[in-house]
Homo-oligomer: A and B are copies of this chain.
Amino acid sequence: MKQGLCFIKSIELDRPSSNDKRADYERLKESLQTDELSLSLDLLKTLPGVLREKDFFLKPVLFHMDGRHILLELFSEQCLGVAIDIGTTNLVASLYDFVTAEKLSVFTIQNPQLSFGVDILSRIHYAMVHNVEELQRALIEGINKLIISVCKDAGVVPENIYAASVCANTVMTHFLLGLEVRYIPVEPYIPVVHCPEIIRAREIDIHINREGLIYIFPNAGSYVGGDIIAGIIATELHRRESTSILIDVGTNAEVVIGNRDWILVGAGAAGPALEGGIISSGMMAEDGAIYRIDIDDRDRSIKYKTIKDTPPRGICGSGVIDLVAELYRTGIIDNRGRIKERTDYIKEKEGHLFIEIADSIGITEREIENFLRSKAAMFTSIYVLVRSIGLSFSDIERIYIAGALGSGVRVEKAQTLGMLPLIDKDRFISVGNSALKGAEMFLMDASLIAEIRDVQSRITYHEMNTDRDFMMLFPSALFIPHAEPEMLS
């Protein structure tokens, strides 16, 4: 059976007697029958009182990893854990009950660091000019709010959360810990730490139980963060003999290719984000987001669907892909993304042509161009990575689509655009937020630590920014579907 990072163990201790004069702590330790046990001085101070108040019957909360056990509480009826994905744009948390192994609730909020800059580079810049503590504080406050929300949702209190499993990209991990970020974005791109592993929540002022511990997923470099490693864990790509690809589209797009023998990550050239930022009408895949768009072949009328059928508020990632693919399919835009045929919903807006899907929601010609840069970057990354190890697309058994595109994307539309390779549709698997999923899996199965470390140590990073093939092939991929369509399959 899988054992989460924390558990409660009900024990009745032998009572002290003239034949058994063991100290309270050693009595407890021997009763727990654990190899290596530790606890804080604060908790030790409460031991004699609790032990006698509870008449030597305890329900201790234990954290365990690597055969080490850490005592977090002496008597508790509830033991919760939280998995957190710290994205550049959003913070997502899911709450678990370690006893029942149930997921209790999930919550998403915006990363409060957005007020320091939408993209990571501007936040790094801010930290360099001002200080990293300000960004750390904003992030921690956001996480604490998120934890309160996810707890309220489940009708529990943060004090009963004893462990958090956290993944983030390398820069966000550094912000979380208040570590220097100035050396991350400059050659040769050196983070302060790869494997922070475990820290006390109170050390960084995260409000869970005051003895609570936080596990932080390791990174494999400045551009390969813990979120990617968590994503790999979620897909189990690293376990299989056959080669798979994981495409995670968040604020940046990252591509992983690998199998049980090797793992290669390409990143650093995602182009503008597909999530939110790429178009002014862009939004996350939440209520009111247009996620499906079809254009009628004959009258060119637009039909769309919104999430939960609520009035449209914007377009999410899969909606943008649908839109551009349908505009191209019906001949409204050409293979460079330029509008070649006007319809009644194509309007002038601040000197630009604007394709309006619903009240003021739509896309400009310029935004289509940006989108095509993103799709070109993504496809070229995949192509270069696959070719760099002497494979072709037909060798790829599975392609996992995660992140912003994750749940809603219609593969055939993305293929129409030349965003994804032309391989059998069945080989594409939507995995939603793979990073969060990986963090959840580890939260609820501490034995995965060995795999996490193994993946971290096996990752090879392929930098696209400086890759000659990438640079050469990128311009052809700006076309729909591609200037050399044979490269798509």
Contact = CB atoms under 8 A, between A and B. Distances in A.
Interface stretch (A21-29, A89-97, A320-328): A21-29
Nearest to A25: B193
Contact of A21 (B18, B20, B22, B221): B221
B22 A194 contact: yes
Interface stretch (A39-47, A112-120, A344-352): A39-47
A224 to B, nearest CB: 10
A182 B204 CA distance: 35
A203 to B, nearest CB: 6
Interface in A176-204: 177-180, 182-183, 187-196, 199, 203-204
Contacts of A189: 21
Contacts of A183: 24, 48
Contact of A180 (B48, B178, B188, B461): B48
A340 B26 CA distance: 55
Contact of A18 (B25, B26, B187, B193): B187
Contacts of A179: 44-45, 48
B177 A25 contact: no
Interface string A142-183: 000000000000000000000000000000000001111011
Tell me what chain A mostly uses at the interface: helix, strand, loop, or mixed: loop
A17 interface: yes
A380 interface: no
A216 to B, nearest CB: 11
A25 B190 CA distance: 10
Contacts of A188: 16-18, 20-21
A67 interface: no
Nearest to A27: B190
A222 interface: yes
Contact of A190 (B21, B177, B199): B21
A44 B193 contact: yes
Contacts of A221: 21, 23
Contacts of A390: none
Contact of A49 (B20, B180, B195, B204): B180
A53 to B, nearest CB: 12
A483 to B, nearest CB: 31
A159 B222 CA distance: 35
B24 A191 contact: yes
Contact of A178 (B25, B45, B177, B178): B45
A302 to B, nearest CB: 47
Given A21-B188, A21-B222, A189-B21, A26 B194 contact: yes
Among all A-B residue pairs, the 6 with the closest Cβ atoms? A25-B193, A23-B191, A48-B180, A23-B194, A16-B190, A26-B194
13 contacts: A16-B190, A22-B194, A24-B183, A24-B191, A24-B193, A25-B192, A25-B193, A26-B194, A41-B199, A41-B204, A48-B179, A48-B180, A48-B192
